[in-house]
Amino acid sequence: MTIQLCSHEYCTGCGACAATCPAHCIVMQEDDLGALYPQINRNDCLQCGRCIEICPQHRNFIGQSAQGAYAA
């Protein structure tokens, strides 16, 4: 299994994947526009999948209704 984080297009830069990694092999780095994006050191990766489990973009929300957001 090779860990595949969500695409750069959908990543929110929340850092949850880096925070949950037991091997500390994920670091958040700035891209050309200054947005944070996770980079994996694949040599140190344990392939545990915790980063995928915690990622809000990989969660399966089937059957759940969307929550409303309000601003004033």
pLDDT score at 14: 92
pLDDT in tens, 13-72: 999 999 999 999 999 999 888 899 999 999 999 999 999 999 988 775 545 556 677 887
CA nearest to 47, candidates 9, 12, 5? 5
pLDDT score at 65: 57
Residue 29: strand, helix, or coil: strand
- What element of type H or E holds 36? strand 36-40
Confidence of residue 1 (pLDDT cuts 50, 70, 90): low
- What element of type H or E holds 30? strand 26-30
CB-based contact 11:58 (threshold 8 Å): no
pLDDT score at 4: 79
